[in-house]
Amino acid sequence: MPEVHFVVVEVADSDGAMGTGFSWTPTVGARAVESLLHHDIAPQALNGPTHPEAVWDRLWGHLHEAGGGGLTTIALAGLDLALWDLLGKRLGTSVVDLLGRRRSVLPAYGSGVNLHYPLDELLDQVRRWIDAGYGGVKIKVGRPELAEDIERVAAVRELIGPRRRLMVDANQRWDLPTARRAARALERFDPHWLEEPLRAEDLEGHVQLRRSSRVPLAVGENLHTLQRFREYIAAGACDIIQPNIVRVGGITPFRRIAALALSGSTGLAPHLLTDLSAQLAATLPGQTEVEEVEDTAFETLGVLATPSPVRRKGAQVIIENAPGLGLEFADLPTFVRRQEKL
């Protein structure tokens, strides 16, 4: 992942109150997202309502001709986040408290982009997570030979011991026969879940794999709509869903997907973007663990002008009070900033 793009979206209401959101695209798609925001979303949103839930469905219907999800929902997230930020600021409260704060401290698990690491570097990374106190760690699998994956998983399991949770993420690298062989080989390491073993579009493949394996399956970072999550849950294709708040279109659809998971007794583990996902996780019933990917905190990436309201302390994240989403983005040369008035 050589590049990560943030497309910052600012909105102003008729009274001059401002809200800020963002769309996020690792590696590809930023220009397409920006174009959708400027040419297709802003003209439809201008002079309309400012409550995000009053805006989202109408705009999603408008964009649907360009695709029900993917670039369209990623672009729509920029406006949705900005409108939630605007609403919180107008009411003088955080989005967390606006939605109903249930807790201010959440557990996190250690995660990283580490498939390319030599084994010694991978183990060094895992040691950092152990030293930080994480109760769970996640590593990548999908090396050219399954034996390499097994060697790495075995070494990590030995290092972390039997009590810490071990998650493995294949990032859609396998076909069904390979995933079946891998799941059988991984069972003895007691993985907490096997993430994205197949292409995200392969619903039937996930159904068959789950039927033939005792390893819990996690999917969802590359599912983009409530409808797709409903299909996966109804088909019995997964044990845990992992919606990415930006990829699904923002806070409005994320909350619907979270409610769907609760109604179907399916686990929920938000994907990435801890500075945003931890805020939403703090409003959900039950104990939701967030993914803390090494070196991806917004402050570490240098994209914020002010401190994030999500603070790190060992294996925990702490949600502090801040108006709206509390994310004020820096003016960086690579950003293309546009301001639209609602």
Q: Which residues are catalytic?
A: 140, 271
Integer Cα distance of 328 and 20 in angstroms: 7
The per-residue DSSP string of 58-90 comes to HHHHHHGGG-SSSHHHHHHHHHHHHHHHHHHHH
Integer Cα distance of 277 and 46 in angstroms: 28
Q: Are 155 and 123 in contact (CB under 8 A)?
A: yes
The per-residue DSSP string of 132-155 comes to HT-SEEEEE---SSHHHHHHHHHH
Pairing of strands 18-26, 105-111: unpaired
* Residue 115 Cα to chain centre, angstroms: 19
Tokens of 232: 């996966």
Integer Cα distance of 107 and 290 in angstroms: 7
Give strand ranges (E) for 141-293: 165-169, 193-195, 217-219, 240-241, 267-268, 290-293
